[in-house]
A = this chain, B = another copy of it.
Amino acid sequence: MRWRIVLEYDGTGFVGWQWQPEGRTIQGVVEQALAKFLGHESRVTVSGRTDAGVHAEGQVASFDAVPDREPFEVRNALNALLPHDVACVRAERAPADFDPRGWSWGKVYRYRYLDRSARSALLRTRAWHVRSLDDRAMHAAAACLAGAHDFTSFRSAGCLANHPNRVMESFSVTRDGDVVTLEARGQGFLRHMVRIIAGTLAEVGHGKRPPEWVADVLAARDRTLAGQTAPPHGLTLVSVDIRDAPPPWSSREPMVDG
């Protein structure tokens, strides 16, 4: 029996999703909790690995186990066995061939900046501290990102995806007081794509570049023209759109994104 779980985590205390011989990983603590619960080892598969410091509200993962438990029992057992910075939001039985990577129809990422002079105590692990962002210029600059594009300029050197074409369903920049938030909805993302876009839009927000520059960077297909990769702690994987079948374009592509 295959199970699907939705995980929330605070990435601050982790070196990333993927199991490593040294360092605390989300995969590691989830597999540890599962082993205690099930009485045997079980490998966890994920919709996309997240890097050290990146948070998730709705990461989707799967594992195989005997079907003798109710979904709420699986969820409650995981919440009792997982450390405080990882929670199982939901558990459910999945089709036998369910694959959280291949069956993802889309993802929503959020990137948060804190725009003020003084650093923050409450958002220290949740937002990138910057000063004087023009969020309207950023929103205008980001309009070019919506749609199907070759995102080579916003792809890290280590990206293993087969091709750089992605569909960005929507992209917005909004402000609530000192907090400026990017929201990216797309069918898929390249490695570090949202963080490179966040670093690039920050240059527009700071007035170092005009809004039109972002369209030029996108068209150039050259990573060296874009801005820095924004720090990981501003990024949250909000949700993964999982349906009862893989999407027509599925190719089991990028394992690491955001």
Residue ranges of A at the interface with B (Cβ–Cβ < 8 Å): 8-10, 55, 57, 72, 75, 79, 84-90, 116-122, 124
Q: Is the CB of A117 within 8 A of B72?
A: yes
Q: Is the CB of B121 within 8 A of A9?
A: yes
Most B CB atoms within 10 A — which of A10, A116, A119, A122? A122
The 5 closest A-B pairs by CB, nearest first: A87-B121, A8-B121, A89-B118, A10-B121, A9-B121
A29 to B: closest C-beta gap in Å: 11
A237 to B: closest C-beta gap in Å: 11
22 A–B contacts from the bound complex (CB under 8 Å): A8-B118, A8-B120, A8-B122, A9-B121, A10-B121, A10-B122, A55-B122, A57-B122, A72-B117, A75-B118, A79-B119, A84-B121, A84-B124, A85-B121, A85-B124, A87-B118, A87-B119, A87-B120, A87-B121, A87-B124, A89-B116, A90-B118
Tell me, in angstroms, the Cα distance from A169 to B188 when the chains sit together: 48
Number of copies: 2
Tell me, in angstroms, the Cα distance from A256 to B87 when the chains sit together: 34
Q: Is the CB of B55 within 8 A of A118?
A: no
A55 to chain B: closest residue by CB: B122
A118 to B: closest C-beta gap in Å: 5
Q: Is the CB of A75 within 8 A of B117?
A: yes
Tell me, in angstroms, the Cα distance from A10 to B9 when the chains sit together: 19
Return chain B residues, CB-CB under 8 Å to A87. 118-121, 124
A13 to B: closest C-beta gap in Å: 10
Tell me, in angstroms, the Cα distance from A225 to B87 when the chains sit together: 35
A89 to B: closest C-beta gap in Å: 5
Tell me, in angstroms, the Cα distance from A200 to B116 when the chains sit together: 37
A72 to chain B: closest residue by CB: B117
Return chain B residues, CB-CB under 8 Å to A75. 117-118
